[in-house]
Structure 1
Amino acid sequence: MKTAIDFRPAPAALPPFDIHPLAWLRQQPAAPQSQRPGSALYTLILVDEPSLGAGPAILSAQASGELYLSRPGQPALATVPARAQGQVLRFTDEFVGLAGHERELLLFQLFHPAATEPLQVPAEQATDMAFLLTSMQRQAAGATLLREDLLRSYLKTLLLYCSRLRQQQSPPTPLLQAGLLGRFQQLLEANYTTWKSVAEYAQRLHVTANHLSVSIRKETGQPASEHIRQRIVLEAKRLITLSDVPLKEVAYQLGFEDVAHFSKLFKRCTGLTFSQFKQQTRAQYHPLQLAVA
């Protein structure tokens, strides 16, 4: 018997991208630990001279630094030195728009919950990271054409630099190969357009559907069904954000033969109809295009 997916209203939308001094983050209220994977923020904190608590706001090109990464639900400042200064960059899953191998490499492995130690940023890489941060700050502060596209491009490049540091400084065994969560995430990424129930994943993982849901909830705070639903909805959001595709085409790409069923699922997950969400996304991500139109 297939485990039913529990549909509940999505939380309020979060800023898709922002970048601030580390001091700003310390003044913000703690983020809820129950934020959903598909809508909550991934956080990168680049610290310059953490032991001294002094230095420029952006990682300098002359000094090595440290990189702290936290995934949705993890406290961003838990291990950051109290006197450290640097930059905080936050983004949502749908904003960066990753899929396939890029998503596994730049989100699952880079932000794996087992990877708790900060990454050391050698001086030779600081110059490139400083340039990327400065470029993102400039784009985020303005309202120029292709602003989001440029931000997304810079962000992916920065994540690639971070991923290379992770691979250089972590054990050679891929983080995702160990544990039920990693194997479930890999299966989900490869099969979310065809497998829609917990039971289908549990069968391939040689566990019961209940054991899979309980185990995934224990590690992430959400059951397996939530991850399945959020991955489907995330891809729908990504398609809407990156291209002007109609409802029928999105439903088809996500493996739904019944467009009405997909439309109902989308509304229950986001609180908006497909058309409403598309209009809201255009206003949020492409304000200049609306102004010209």
Structure 2
Amino acid sequence: MQKFTFSVKSVTTHYPSCLPKVGSHYSLLWLQNGEIQTVRNGSINLINQNTLTCLRSEELQDALKTVSGGYIFNFPVEFLARLQTEMIMTGDGLGVFNFLVPEKLCTTVTPEIQLLLGSLLREYESEKDICRNEMMTGLMRLLLLQMARDCEIDDVSLPYSLEDIRLVNRFIDLVKKNFMTLKRVSEYADLLHISPNYLNIKIKRISGFTASYHIHNAILEEAIGKARNEGMGLKQIAYHLGYEDVAYFSKFFKKATGKNFAKFKCLELN
């Protein structure tokens, strides 16, 4: 299972160090004092205190200029993508899925949400290293689902058709079953009897990520799992995943993780 990295920062004491790298993370801003404005889809939205809202890293930088108190909970873009995939694969999660996008994750801090926020903060600041990442992962998952559920109660609209959601569901299922042998978007489009461009448009619109991203993410998770759980080396993993050109796989791995395999294994798996 892929290991995710989370961080929690106080706005008043850690600005601007609380800003994550642009494009790599989303941030949940727990606004305790002040107010912010966000511009989305051409509309200006005013967000008041006692609100928890999800912001992209570039939005967060502007928002913090008018915030005088609160906390920021940073989590990887890939973490939200994984949660979206889980909801697609479970029929009863389709309603919540529609709100698992940064543009819709904004809600009042209810007692239930405040309890989860407090637990995340305590876990992050705890001196206990044992299972900390697993605890943070579980708590962040619960928090995002609670936010999406609250948003669903407040907004009964369904922004995506069930037909489109079923298409994404079928695509994700095909990727899970075939990523070892099928690595191009065109191959999945052929199986679904649609064009690669149409498939990519639908996948990007609903999940927020391209079709190739989902394919590469499945490959990467398998690679990391083999390295972590079975101690496989780069060459073994490349052959296991169907790559005859080890150098090509090495470049793919470095581009996806930001580190070459040896450095990643040393820093992340030890």
TM-score of the pair, normalised by structure 2: 0.63
Gap change, CA 1:101 and 1:81, over 3 Å in 2 = same
Structure 1 partner of 2:266: 279
Q: Give the alignment partner of residue 270 of structure 1, picking from 242, 245, 253.
A: 253
Question: CA RMSD of the aligned region, Å?
Answer: 4.6
Gap change, CA 1:31 and 1:258, over 3 Å in 2 = same
Higher helix share: 2
Contact 2:101 / 2:208 at 8 angstroms: preserved in 1? no
Partner letter of residue 190 of structure 1? Answer: D
Contact 1:42 / 1:70 at 8 angstroms: preserved in 2? yes
Q: Give the alignment partner of residue 119 of structure 1, picking from 67, 91, 107.
A: 107
Structure 1 partner of 2:42: none
Q: Give the alignment partner of residue 27 of structure 1, picking from 16, 39, 50.
A: 16
Structure 1 partner of 2:120: 133
Structure 2 partner of 1:48: 32
Give the C-alpha shift of residue 68 in structure 1.
0.8
Structure 1 partner of 2:5: 16
CA distance in 2, matches of 1:27, 1:231: 34
Query: Within 5 Å, which residues of 2 pair with 1:2-13?
Result: none
CA distance in 1, matches of 2:113, 2:197: 46
Contact 2:107 / 2:151 at 8 angstroms: preserved in 1? yes
Gap change, CA 1:160 and 1:29, over 3 Å in 2 = closer
CA distance in 2, matches of 1:28, 1:94: 22
Partner letter of residue 7 of structure 2? Answer: D
CA distance in 1, matches of 2:269, 2:74: 20
Structure 1 partner of 2:211: 224
Gap change, CA 1:119 and 1:16, over 3 Å in 2 = same
Structure 1 partner of 2:86: 101
TM-score of the pair, normalised by structure 1: 0.59
**In the TM superposition, what whole-angstrom CA distance separates every residue of 1:227-283 from its partner, at most 9, and x where no partner exists?**
42234324543x368x523449xx89x99663656x656422232565653332124
Query: Within 5 Å, which residues of 2 pair with 1:82-97?
Result: 82-83=66-67, 85-92=69-76
CA distance in 1, matches of 2:162, 2:58: 20
Give the C-alpha shift of residue 183 in structure 1.
5.9
Structure 1 partner of 2:175: 192
Gap change, CA 1:158 and 1:17, over 3 Å in 2 = same
Q: Secondary structure at the match of 1:19?
A: strand
Gap change, CA 1:116 and 1:126, over 3 Å in 2 = closer
Q: Secondary structure at the match of 1:244?
A: helix
Q: Secondary structure at the match of 1:192?
A: helix
Structure 2 partner of 1:65: 50
Contact 2:28 / 2:53 at 8 angstroms: preserved in 1? yes
**In the TM superposition, what whole-angstrom CA distance separates every residue of 1:103-143 from its partner, at most 9, and x where no partner exists?**
87699644425x34621223x3254134323323323xx35
Q: Give the alignment partner of residue 188 of structure 2, picking from 192, 195, 201.
A: 201
Structure 2 partner of 1:57: none
**In the TM superposition, what whole-angstrom CA distance separates every residue of 1:44-92 from its partner, at most 9, and x where no partner exists?**
112225459xxxxxxxxxxx82111135x76335667923531111122
Higher strand share: 2
Structure 2 partner of 1:59: none
Query: Within 5 Å, which residues of 2 pair with 1:160-179?
Result: 160-171=145-156, 173=158, 177=161
Q: Which has the higher contact order (CA 8 A, sep 6+)?
A: 1
Q: Please list every run of 5 or more consecutive structure 1 residues that lacks an aligned counterpart in the other structure.
A: 1-14, 53-63, 284-293
Gap change, CA 1:235 and 1:185, over 3 Å in 2 = farther
Gap change, CA 1:240 and 1:213, over 3 Å in 2 = same
Gap change, CA 1:164 and 1:67, over 3 Å in 2 = same
Gap change, CA 1:255 and 1:166, over 3 Å in 2 = farther
Contact 1:132 / 1:154 at 8 angstroms: preserved in 2? yes
